[in-house]
């Protein structure tokens, strides 16, 4: 993804009135539309997840669905149209949502093409048997790792799996 962003060839698919930026930074995801930097939710996010540069609603559920389906690879590409400073109505009215969506779609299309090329290169390699399951969550700086859902559906194993003991 970073090499696609650096190469910039994906920008050919967006209008020529400025090159959109690509950022790889933490995003908070939850069931909230944030349109204020001083609300209780904004203060809580700043206190607990101060490295998050954006807030959105969809990616947590999307990532969980991938995780619960045999760790199906998933990636989220976001187009940012407003800065949660109380001007959402103004930026929406100015047409920034379609611009942000178009930019994100152009990048996602280039990223998928790159992933398809890599998959084609490795398709000739013999398949390897899975060795087991490993999951590692890492939090940097003041961030915390956790789930914001009330229930987990599917298999959940904590500790050694059956048959791992000798």
| DSSP per-residue string spanning 62-106 | HHHHHHHTTT------------SSS-HHHHHHTTHHHHHHHHHHH
Query: What is the reported pLDDT for 166?
Result: 47
Residues 30-58: b if buried by 16+ CB within 10 A, e if exposed: eeeebbeeeeeebeebeeebeebebbbee
Cα distance between residue 150 and residue 4, in whole Å: 36
Whether the predicted model's global pTM rises above the 0.75 cut: no
Torsion of CA 97, 6, 4, 110, to 10 degrees: 40
Which residues fall within 8 angstroms of residue 130, CB to CB, at 6 or more apart? Answer: none
- Measure the CA–CA gap between 57 and 59, rounded to whole angstroms: 6
Give the pLDDT means over successive 10-residue stretches in the chain (166 positions). Answer: 89 80 86 82 89 85 87 86 77 86 91 82 64 60 59 51 52
CB atoms within 10 A of CB 24: 7
pLDDT (0 to 100) of residue 111:
93
User: Are 14 and 102 spatial neighbours (Cβ–Cβ below 8 Å)?
Assistant: yes
Contact 103, 20 (CB under 8 A): yes
Where do the domains of the chain lie? 2-122
| Predicted pLDDT of residue 147 | 54
Query: Looking at residue 112, what is its pLDDT?
Result: 92
The secondary structure element, H or E, covering residue 29 is: strand 27-29
pLDDT, position 109: 92
Q: How far is Cα 111 from Cα 148, in angstroms, rounded to an integer?
A: 28
Q: Bridge partners of 28?
A: 55
């Amino acid at each position: 993804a970073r090499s696609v962003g650096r190469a910039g060839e994906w920008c050919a698919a967006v209008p020529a009135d400025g090159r959109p930026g690509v950022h790889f930074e933490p995003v908070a995801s939850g069931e909230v539309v944030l349109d204020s930097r001083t609300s209780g939710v904004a203060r809580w996010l700043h206190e607990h997840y101060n490295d998050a540069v954006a807030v959105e609603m969809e990616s947590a559920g999307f990532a969980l669905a991938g995780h619960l389906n045999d760790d199906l690879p998933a990636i989220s590409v976001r187009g940012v149209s407003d800065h949660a400073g109380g001007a959402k109505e103004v930026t929406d009215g100015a047409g920034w949502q379609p611009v942000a969506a178009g930019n994100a779609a152009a990048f996602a299309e280039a990223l998928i093409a790159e992933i398809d090329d890599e998959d084609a290169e490795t398709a000739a390699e013999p398949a390897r048997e899975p060795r087991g399951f490993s999951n590692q969550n890492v939090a940097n700086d003041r961030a915390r790792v956790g789930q914001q859902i009330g229930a987990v559906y599917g298999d959940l194993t904590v500790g050694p799996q059956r048959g791992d003991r000798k």
